[in-house]
Amino acid sequence: MEAKQPNSNVIMRTENPVHEGDLKWVIGNACQFSRRLISSNFSLQRECEPEFQIVAKFNVRFPDVHVVNVNVGIQRIDSGDKSVYVTADAQILNTSGDVYCRKEVIFNCASGGAPFYIFSEMFSDSTSKLTPPGFPGLKTGISSDDIDEFFHLRVKNLITAHGNVNRIFVLPTDALVVKILIKTYGCCIVTNKEDVTDEPERQTPKSHVYQLLNDFKNAYQHQELTDIELVVGERTIRAHKFVLQARSPVFRNMFKHELEETTAGTIQIDDVDYTVLQALIWYLYTAVVLKLSYDDLCDLYEAADKYQVHSLQKECAEILKSSLGADTACRILVLADMHNDSLLRQQTVDYIWRNFAEVKDTEDWELTMRSHQRVASDVLEKVCNFKPESKS
């Protein structure tokens, strides 16, 4: 009798070349009113699939002194199905070429995702609205750290009302210049085929799975043989590269491309608070969502999307659904919209529709009306089209 030969499968091994490109975008009337703008689309190479745009959100913070908060980010807009690893060197300048702020960021970028915001800064179109008459010379900006006698009374009132005021940059011509140099990894893949034997899979008892999770948890808690440090401000979380890269494509790309910070054994984390990062890492080891405050849970939902831990994002969404209330619904709606979570978005819209009498009187609804007009209009459309017999 002839022995049965095992089946043969093919696996693909990939090599990821690096592509780069830059964009310069001049935005006029930067300090006049709230709005959301997008740049022209650009790709890094002719044969390169990913396509990007720059997003700039302007929210008037202190209208009496023409101070606007500007958020600048990168968004991928092509229809490709592969995530790419992105590094970006971003600058904000005035039309004279003076650099106001500059950042280098690293992130994983999927098609159709929310923008990855790099800057959140405040700008004004003139020092005359911020400083007293006869102020000695034009400055690029002013903040709570500047000499007290240089402050205009209105700026002092802002500090009294809101605490320390972060630096307010001055745009003499009311024009903002954004320059971004982008590098991508993994967009154009070179493949090699390799035959592997198809072995029959055995079912692992649940008790073994629980033991495995418990072993990983103990290794994390006792910091056994850790080989990477995640630094948030003055605090550090020690972990294992293998676990992080196995559970998060973003961490995997960091280690795969051997960025300088990862080879040195540390990663500076600037986009996630310590408590939220701690909850994220705990989930990577244990598959358990820590009990958090509502604000931290919202931040964990965002972090799960940023680091592409989709199972955690779904679990956070389920908890957020149970937290829906008049005071929380608007923030959850904006979160769901920004992160393309259609199910959470629809359930939140339905909640606001059914409880609109309460929600419309909250400060969050007023803020949503001003800053997120598209999602607010979706709610209003449903409210206005309501027919009593259709409401359950």
pLDDT 10s digits, 261-270: 555 688 888 8
pLDDT of 154 higher than 90: no
Strands 266-268 and 228-232: parallel
Domain boundaries, the chain: 13-123+141-190, 207-309, 324-384
CA–CA distance from 144 to each of 67, 92, 133, 150 (Å)?
A: 15, 21, 19, 10
**Proportion of the chain above pLDDT 90, given as a percent:** 25
Q: How far apart are CA 107 and CA 28, in angstroms?
A: 29
Q: How is the beta sheet containing 176-185 ordered, strand by strand? A: 18-27, 176-185, 84-93, 99-109
Q: With a cut of 60, say whether residue 175 has pLDDT above it.
A: yes
**35: β partners:** 58
Determine phi and psi for 231, rounding to 5 degrees: -105, 125
The answer to whether the CB of 350 falls within 8 A of the CB of 388 is: no
Confidence of residue 235 (pLDDT cuts 50, 70, 90): very high
pTM, to two decimals: 0.49
Q: Of 335, 269, 328, which is closest to residue 299 (Cα–Cα)?
A: 335
Q: Does residue 299 or residue 386 have the better pLDDT?
A: 299
- CA–CA separation, 210 vs 298, rounded Å? 28
DSSP codes joined into one string, 182-210: EEEESSS-EEEEEEEE-PPPPPPPHHHHH
Helix axes 329-338, 363-371, angle to 10 degrees: 30
203 versus 367: which is more confidently predicted? 367
Whether 4 shows a pLDDT value over 50: the answer reads no
Mean per-residue pLDDT, 120-146: 59
Residues 6+ away with beta carbon under 8 Å from 308: 83, 108, 110, 248, 249, 250
pLDDT at residue 223 tops 90: no
Q: Model confidence at 296, in pLDDT bands (50, 70, 90)?
A: very high
Residue 143, classified by CB atoms within 10 Å of its CB into exposed (0-12), middle (13-18) or buried (19+), is middle
* 324-384 and 207-309 share a CATH fold: no
The predicted model gives 63-84 an average pLDDT of 81
Say which CATH class 207-309 falls into: alpha beta
User: Which amino acid, residue 327?
Assistant: D
Token pair belonging to 384:
């206005």
Please give the CATH topology (third level) of the domain spanning 324-384. 1.25.40
Among residues 306, 347, 303, 304, the alpha carbon closest in space to that of 329 is found at 347
Q: Summarize pLDDT for 6-45 with one digit per residue, the tens.
A: 455 555 555 556 778 888 999 988 887 788 888 887 777 6
User: Which candidate, 301, 302, 237, places its Cα nearest to that of 269?
Assistant: 237
What is the pLDDT, as a whole number, of residue 329? 92
CA distance readout (Å), 187 to 9, 77, 141, 219: 25, 14, 39, 35
* Cα distance between residue 46 and residue 21, in whole Å: 11
What is the second-level CATH architecture of the domain 13-123+141-190? Sandwich (2.60)
CA distance 260 to 115: 25
- Do 305 and 313 meet the contact criterion of CB atoms below 8 Å apart? yes
Does the pLDDT of residue 110 top 50, yes or no? yes
Q: Residue 249 above 70 pLDDT? A: yes
